[in-house]
Structure 1
């Protein structure tokens, strides 16, 4: 544990990663032609269609309206994990880059916060696996608040550094929707996988 010091706290580095595998609209059309053909009449289209005179009620409605005729809702391609790849892999890859960009060694990290949505090991989370793969010697825990996870982790990491509990906190983030949404489910056409990491520490 370190002593509390004056000065600013901020990001020392930021890294993002995505799987190499790309799932395109043409691929989905080829594999699921009937599903694609029915998509325009899907639930989202019906709910947001104002032919019944319903007025637009939100900025979201107005922004989405131009894409309703497109069964993919404007998405051209999505990155997805290949067989054998996991959300842990994405967090580890991003974590390595974040440490390198920050000029830090694994021993310099006092705390790891893993934000996996959803984690590879549901219930256990990714933190201990990411920490082991990166060779970290400090503490590690999971933090999950759905879409707000990365921002919540940033606030938590900032508080730890500002309070003098840590000098450097590494936050790793992953999203692996493709593992939990079937390819032939139109919901999956909106979703992709990706990861990121950032280091929080003292800044000038």
Structure 2
């Protein structure tokens, strides 16, 4: 939707764990090869968090870096939203742990779960909070420790995912030409397709028990071909709707930042939108799919590398389990 939400992104940050897991490393775990993984996904390596490294640890470091970039002190933050499907625990929320770790003593915090669309869902949620009340500064974070949900014997899924976190500082600003302005957004959901991409166990529908633990129900289950098809269709639709609401076309976009799930998906979206490869941001080869972290990590890397300049039009678009999808157009 296009709206009067007067909010801008004023700082970005990201954090990736130190451990690198390459395709050649995976050849030792499952029946696969670097050629097989690269050809089908575009992924060469991914980052894996340390055993004692939590989602909130990664989220907090990304948040600190975003705050530093924005020149904002932690106590100035009014709102923390963490998008994740791998929280530290069921409760308290990961946002509560982030608040404690970064010292954001004045912030309200909560988590949202929208899988790979989570960061864009959180961004839109934060915008409405900032425009609807006294809060003026928000931390929006996408953070995942997907290695905790991976079945390392399933070659169809274990090659896809990695860990990491990205964050953005969002501030209310009534100047229409303020840098980093989010000018339109779109979100969608189709729960009828929930079974195509899920972690079935661990909740109230399927508690983990001694009798079913060997089936590994608390790991990622995915119908790859169907997910691919819906991802391309929905991400293209979301992109077109957000651009239309902004009064723009794909030709106006300086950089598309798509969810980093599969190189073929990214190529298909760019082709359908008519966007050349050089105007599409990709770090999939380095990190794999980090779910809610992918968009903010890409945004931070594009920002810090000088890939985007003030005034550039950015298109952010994602698709994830649920199914969920979302897009945002930003004038940087």
Distance 1:125 1:180 in 2: 18
2:67 alignment counterpart:
99
1:30 alignment counterpart:
28
1:193 alignment counterpart:
163
CA contact (8 A) 1:79 1:192 kept: yes
CA contact (8 A) 1:116 1:125 kept: no
2:10 counterpart of 1:12: yes
Look up the SS of the partner of 2:72 in the other structure: coil
71, 74, 96: which one aligns with 1:128: 96
Shift of 1:135: 0.7
TM-score by structure 1 length?
0.74
Distance 2:61 2:90 in 1: 20
2:172 counterpart of 1:176: no
CA contact (8 A) 2:84 2:114 kept: no
Distance change in 2, residues 1:162/1:22 (3 Å): same
70, 76, 92: which one aligns with 2:36: 70
1:152 alignment counterpart:
121
Distance change in 2, residues 1:84/1:7 (3 Å): closer
Distance 1:109 1:77 in 2: 35
Distance 1:148 1:88 in 2: 19
TM-score by structure 2 length?
0.47
For each residue in 1:107-128, what CA deviation from the matched residue of structure 2 results, as whole angstroms up to 9, or x when unmatched? 1011111112221213543111
Look up the SS of the partner of 1:117 in the other structure: coil
Distance 2:37 2:73 in 1: 46
Distance change in 2, residues 1:162/1:183 (3 Å): same
Look up the SS of the partner of 1:19 in the other structure: coil
Distance 2:154 2:169 in 1: 36
2:56 counterpart of 1:88: yes
1:44 alignment counterpart:
none
For each residue in 1:30-89, what CA deviation from the matched residue of structure 2 results, as whole angstroms up to 9, or x when unmatched? 344xx227xxxxxxxxxxxxxxxxxxxxxxxxxxxxx9x714533211111122111111
Look up the SS of the partner of 1:120 in the other structure: coil
Distance 2:32 2:111 in 1: 37
Structure number with bigger Rg = 1
Distance change in 2, residues 1:202/1:180 (3 Å): same
Distance change in 2, residues 1:8/1:78 (3 Å): same
Over the aligned positions, Cα root-mean-square deviation in angstroms equals 2.2
